[in-house]
Structure formats: structure tokens, C-alpha cells
Amino acid sequence: MSRDKIIWVKINTKSYYNILVKLNDIGITIYDNKFKKDYILIETKYEDYKRIKKYLVSYKISIYESTGIDKFKEIFNKYIVFSCGIIISIVILFIANMTVFKIDIKTSNKKIYDIVERELNKNGLKRLTLKKEHFKIEKIVSKILDENKDTLEWLEIKYDGLVMIVNVTEKTQTKKEEEYPNCNIIARTDAKISSLNIYRGIPLKEINDYVTKGEVILSGSITHNEEIKNNVCADGEVYGEVWYKVKIELPFKETITKYTGKNRYNLNIKIDDDKYTILKSRLKQKKEEEINLYKLNDFEINLIKEKEYVKEENILSKDEAYNKAIKLATEKINLKLRENEKILVKKVLKKELNDSTIYLEVFIVTKENIGVRQVVKEEALNDNKHISESNE
């Protein structure tokens, strides 16, 4: 310990004035002092501490080390400029992080952009204002949607760093039926009709009929005695059985990725498109998951979770390869299916095995909505009218 160092010395005493007179008598320098119930703390030089120990032998004297909140106060006071700097920086960073610097309304329609911007301003969502809580945002969104029922279909407000992103979908005015005076329901693909729900129009096909792609199933032309009396827009649901032949070739040998359970954390800084990783990664093969910690325009700080994995080779048995190939074929067809559509039948047509691969041809029957609307052009209508008139 340096001899010039200033320290706090604790002297056990109940008399404040007596001890100070004694310290004065032996010429001790006191820079500060605090008197407690059973002791006095004096701030003095280390050299003087030695002298106090030497002359005041009847007292219990020790160097006082502050702990807890006192220690914190001491450090804070010692580095007051630095501490204040840190606190001010944190406060500024906190306020900046809570502030919206940019509003990004995602629409290309100028009219919608203006409406949304006006509504946001009206509800206090402006640039350089504090971010609002989630429940308040939800309230504002439903209020804006209520007030603009005719123009806005959907609205979402979310924060990405300092940017408020507003996703908006304008209300698409469904074309009125009058715009399509005549339309048919035709087959989207070759199929066998399994169910027919007619809302409007004349059915030209029945259940269990086979149809080819483009064939009219429901007609919008209402005829009587081969004469077109009226044109409507045919509407209905037509479900049919559709057939697929799926070819799958699968090797017995497959490479699988196995996670070892070893994770490492890292940090990276992104400035524009440049990325700088702070720590050197020690994992050879890894998958990275990025969690954004801070974002200011094009500057980002991200926490990276690195998950180690190893690649292992796996040899499938014939049965395993067969089941997997069937599963892949099913998945391939399932990707095409929409709501209320399903696979009805699966049948293996061809199976070939060699040393390294399995080859399958799978026949799949599905139930699908095969009807699509086809608008009949006006020229065609006029031609039809003309034909009917000439027949008369």
C-alpha cells in the first residue's frame, strides 16, 4: 500500500470530542470524519494511520473498507464523471430506443398511404414520439379499421428497432356480378365428378361423369327450346376425383444432421451490409440463430446462438426406404391440395430395387375442387344472340 494513500480508519470510541483532541495532540491530518454510535470513521493518510496505531494503543483501530451500497457510493463518487457519463448514455439510449424515428407504411397506393398517415397522426402515432404499448396499438388499429371500413381491409402496426412498420391491405372491391353478365364453371383438370353443389346456372354434367380440362360443367346461359333466354354468372362447387402418377427415386444412403447439444454464444455487429463477428467461433459445423439486441437504421448488434452439429450417414433398410418413398410421394401431392381436399387412394404401380436406390411409381387419387369460373366475353354473347335471332 502506498504511503500517501488516503484511507478511512475506524476507531472504536463513544466520545467524539475526546478522540479528536487526542488525534490533534499527535498531529493527525483529518480530511473528513463521520461519527457513529460506537465508532468514528476518519479519512486520513496511511502514514497517519500508522501513527494512530502507535500512539493510541488503548483503542481498537482498523482500516475501514466500505461494503454494499457504501462501496457503490464510494466508487460512484470516485469516478463521478465517468459514472454520470454512463448513466446519461443509458438514459439517452433508453429514450432513443423507445422513440419512433421512422414510419414505414407498406403500400404503393398513394390514396391508401395518405389515409393511413392521416389516421396515424390523428391517433398520436407520429415520428419522434414514444412507442406505444401493444394493447394501445391494437385499440388504435381496430379504431382505424372501423372508421375506414370501405377502404381498409387489414392493418398491422409493429416496431422493428426504431422504425414503425405499418402493413396495410386495401379493401378489394369484389367485382359485382353485373360486371360478369355471363360466366361458366369449367373443369380445371381431367377428373371424375364426385359432388356437385349448384348455386346458380345450368348443370351440363352429372355426378360420376368424366370431364376433361376446360369442359363446361355449369353453364351461365339459361336456355329454353334451344333459345338463350337469360345470361347469368354460374356459381357452384364441383368436387371430382383427380389422378396422379408420382415417380420417386430414393437412395438407400442418406445424410442426416445431428445436433450435439453444444451451444456457444457470440455477438456480431452489422453496419450496412458488412458483418463483423466479435468472438472467434470454436465450433466446426454450426447452425446460427440471430437475436437482434439493438438496431438503429443500418447499425445492428445481434446475439448469435451457435448450435454445433455433425453430419452422419445413415443406410436405410429396404422397408424403411419403401415407406419413406411412399411418404415423399404423399407429401408431394399434399402440397397441391387446398382446404377440403384430400387423398382418397394410394397404390404402388411399379417398384424397382437395385443396390443403391429404390424406384417407385405411385398412383394417387385425390378429391379436389375442380371447378373454375370462366367469363364468357360479350362478343360471344352477341354472336349467340345473333344466332338465336336468325333462327327466329
Partner 1 sequence: MERLHFRDFFKNFLYDLEDFITIYENHLHVFNYQKLTKLSETNIILIVKNMEVNITGENLKIKQMTKQELLINGKILKVEFAYV
Q: Which residues bind partner 1 (CB under 8 A)?
A: 16-17, 20-21, 23-25, 27-33, 35
DSSP 31: S
Least Cβ distance, residue 164 to partner 1 (angstroms): 53
Nearer to partner 1, 18 or 277 (CB): 18
Burial of 362 (0-12, 13-18, 19+ CB in 10 A): buried
Residue 55 Cβ vs partner 1, minimum distance, rounded to whole Å: 15
Residues 135 and 96 sit within 8 Å (Cβ to Cβ): no
What's the start-to-end Cα distance of the chain, in Å? Answer: 123
Q: In terms of CB distance, is 29 or 257 closer to partner 1?
A: 29
Question: What kind and span of H or E run contains 325?
Answer: helix 318-334
We find the least distance from the C-beta atom of residue 17 to partner 1, in angstroms, to be: 5
CA distance 132 to 120: 12
Q: How far is the CB of 297 from partner 1 (least distance, A)?
A: 48
Smallest gap from Cβ 18 to partner 1, in A, equals: 8
Of 54 and 386, CB closest to partner 1: 54
Residue (33 or 369) nearer to partner 1, CB? 33
How near is the Cβ of 163 to partner 1 at its closest, in Å? 52
Q: What is the nearest approach in angstroms of partner 1 to the Cβ of residue 42?
A: 9
**DSSP per position, 51-113:** HHHHH-TTS-EEE----HHHHHHHHHHHTHHHHHHHHHHHHHHHHHHTB--EEEEE-S-HHHH
**Nearest Cα to 137, choosing from 123, 154, 118?**
123
Rounded distance between C-alpha atoms, residue 370 and residue 49, angstroms: 98
Q: Report d(CA 311, CA 309) in Å as an integer.
A: 7
Q: All 3 cell numbers of residue 195?
A: 359432388
